[in-house]
Amino acid sequence: MTLKEQITEDMKTAMRAKDSIRLGTVRLLLAALKQKEVDERVVLDDAAVIAIVDKLIKQRKDSIDAFTKAERTDLADIEKAELTVLSAYLPQRLDADQVAAEVRTLAAAMVAELGRALAPSDMGKLMGAAKAQLAGKAEMGQVSAAVKAALAG
């Protein structure tokens, strides 16, 4: 069963259970998936679905920060509930040490390929490779920090 099919099944389950928070969040996710499919005229695979879930989670986190600063705990609580529902669709995340190890491996491969030490100007190449390999497995903020550390050290 693909991730998209699982999300559709979860929507049906939430309808039967009359779980309005879960149902609303899953419908929002399905709408985002459908929008992407219609805009780009493609059928989304699991990696693309994870990327969209990641984007929605980042939006929720930003909203939680904004609502907390504005002392709107009622709205922040709604966003936190949606964040919990969306997080269930992500694979297990790598921790910071694992991300750093992956980036160091990529950096070593890039050094071998280029035949020279990496310079700060190689950040785009290394970040692109890391993003391709770690998409959906790690937060890109962690990946960026690991890339900067690899280039500095």
- Cα gap 9→20, rounded to integer Å: 15
Same domain assignment for residues 117 and 146: yes
Alpha carbon dihedral 22, 28, 34, 37, in 10-degree steps, equals -110
Same domain assignment for residues 101 and 123: yes
Domain edge (last residue) among 87, 110, 142 = 87
User: The domain that contains 63 carries what CATH number?
Assistant: 1.10.1510.10
Residue 139: predicted pLDDT: 82
pTM confidence score: 0.76
Residue 79: predicted pLDDT: 96
The residue among 129, 130, 137, 126 whose CA lies nearest residue 46 is 137
Distances (CA, A) of 117 to 55, 100, 102, 124, 151: 34, 18, 18, 15, 9
Domain edge (last residue) among 37, 68, 87 = 87
Same domain assignment for residues 40 and 81: yes
Q: Domain of residue 48: give its range.
A: 3-87
User: The domain that contains 124 carries what CATH number?
Assistant: 1.10.10
Same domain assignment for residues 123 and 78: no
The one-digit pLDDT tens for each residue of the chain (153 residues) are 889 999 999 999 999 999 999 999 999 999 999 999 999 999 998 888 988 998 999 999 999 999 999 999 999 999 999 999 999 998 888 888 888 888 999 988 888 888 888 888 888 888 888 888 887 788 888 888 888 888 886
The residue among 28, 149, 34, 152 whose CA lies nearest residue 97 is 149
Half-sphere exposure of 65 toward its Cβ, with a 13 Å CA cutoff?
A: 6
Residue 89: predicted pLDDT: 92
Residue 136: predicted pLDDT: 74
Number of independent structural domains in the chain: 2
Same domain assignment for residues 81 and 24: yes
Same domain assignment for residues 118 and 146: yes
Same domain assignment for residues 103 and 148: yes
Domain edge (last residue) among 52, 69, 87 = 87
Residues with Cβ < 8 Å from 149, sequence gap 6 or more?
A: 100, 103
The residue among 54, 80, 84 whose CA lies nearest residue 65 is 80
